[in-house]
Amino acid sequence: MAICEQCGKKTAFGHNRSHSMRATKRQFKPNLQKISVYENGRMVRKTLCTRCIRTLVKSSK
């Protein structure tokens, strides 16, 4: 579900740490955006993380 189609970045798991250092489970979700990209001369809709979107913009200039 929450996976970048370019780099494969997905939800990571870890702990919330309170002041008393008590550990509770939490999720780190990637910042995914749905964008339209030209791929092989066609417009394709992809779900990409913001890092990959920035890289695409840099390479298109």
Q: Is residue 55 part of a domain?
A: yes
Domain that holds residue 54: 12-60
Kindly report, residue by residue over 2-60, the tens digit of the pLDDT. 899 999 999 999 999 999 999 999 999 999 999 999 989 999 999 999 999 999 988 87
Q: Is residue 7 part of a domain?
A: no
Q: Is residue 6 part of a domain?
A: no
Query: In terms of Cα–Cα distance, which of 23, 25, 45, 44 is closest to 34?
Result: 45
Q: Is residue 5 part of a domain?
A: no
Give the integer Cα–Cα distance in Å for 53 and 56: 5
Q: Is residue 31 part of a domain?
A: yes
pTM of the model: 0.79
Q: Is residue 33 part of a domain?
A: yes
Q: Is residue 2 part of a domain?
A: no
Give the integer Cα–Cα distance in Å for 41 and 7: 21
Q: Is residue 4 part of a domain?
A: no
Q: Is the dihedral of CA 51, 52, 53, 55 positive or negative?
A: positive
Query: Which whole-number Å values give the CA distances from 21 to 16, 27, 34, 47, in the listed order?
Result: 9, 17, 37, 36
> What is the number of domains present in the chain?
1
